[in-house]
Amino acid sequence: KPRFKLSRHTSFFTIADMAEASSVLPVQIVSNAYGKSRVRLVRVFKKADRHEMIDMTFEIQLQGDFDEAYLSSSNRTVLPTDTMKNTVYAIAKTYVDDQPELLGMRLARHFVSTVAPVKAANISVVQHSWHRLIVKGEPHAHAFSREGSGSKRTAQIRLCKQSGWTVHGGIEDLLLLKTTMSGFEDYIRDPYTTLKETKDRILGTNMKAVWKYQNPEAIEYASVFPAIRDALIEAFAGPAHSGVYSPSVQFTLYQMASRVLQRVPQVAEVSLRMPNLHCNLVSLAPFGMDNPNEVFVPIDEPHGTIQATLTRTKGTALASRL
């Protein structure tokens, strides 16, 4: 026989009825988190001779002693998500940080240190790229452009009262392409294989990179991020006048992630995801024309996807961990 019943004055369950029902049902909360998503921020830094700006999107997720909010009618342990949004703007005004990792760390520290029920704060940041306009060869003081969606810098910050900091940086939607110095040969063939081997093809990808920082409170992010990005691009492209040959996306991915770990000691681990954006050679034979790898049709789907995570071993060698 149920221990709860409908209210005498309504055909619906009251809050008290529902709370009592939840207390007797054979279920439990395994995990929970809550927060604010899509918090948009543009911050202008006004200097004497020019303006600087950042454009970021934040997501905040808090974990802690919030079971009461799910099991009863009490919100006494709940910080409103609107307050989280306001905190982003207040922190952005209070400090002059223009690095997503630093802003995320300040937010995480604020929530963990000032909101009693919070045991861990998770902050995700996406920074949108704007570039200063060049007018008649001169950098403009306060005008910027953003072409298309562009690549995005990312950061994921976690501060836990028990375990401390975990900070990841990253890049999303970094479109890379080279028109030669790539091939694909000597692969497994079975009755369903139709792909032709090639020593010369276009190699393109829309790369997502995520890396884990060591000692995140001691890092100069303004210099470390460009060093990581440069390492990835240089390993993909090779020297400016000669390039570097890629026998597969897997091989190139390994070289790119390895280059980051070799050059940037602040990075402990690198994960790359590289969809293979195909450009298929067009046959011009029906028109009596030759096509020596000059005319292609880009194919969005289906496409191959290659991914791996690399980290340092205890010695000097690098190891791949899928």
Length of the chain as a residue count: 322
Calculate ∠ Cα 220-309-150, nearest 5°: 60
What proportions of the chain, in percent to the nearest 5, are helix, strand and coil?
25, 40, 35
Contact (Cβ atoms closer than 8 angstroms) between residue 77 and residue 68? yes
- The residue type at 177: L
Residue 36 is among the residues annotated as catalytic for this protein: yes
Give the start-end residues of each E strand in the chain: 34-46, 51-64, 118-128, 131-135, 138-145, 152-160, 164-178, 203-213, 267-281, 296-312, 318-321
- Active-site residue among 36, 85, 168, 212? 36
Catalytic site residue 278? yes
3-class secondary structure, 227: helix
- For residues 188 and 106, give the distance between their C-alpha atoms in angstroms, rounded to a whole number: 51
Q: Which of 14, 77, 81, 309 is catalytic?
A: 81
In single-letter form, the type of residue at position 279 comes to C
To the query of whether residue 142 is one of the catalytic residues in this protein, the response is no
Distance CA(310)–CA(322), nearest Å, equals 8
**Which residue in 178, 208, 212, 278 is the catalytic one?**
278
CA–CA separation, 115 and 1 (whole Å): 41
Output phi, psi for 247, to 5 deg.
-80, -10
Active site residue ranges: 36, 81, 278
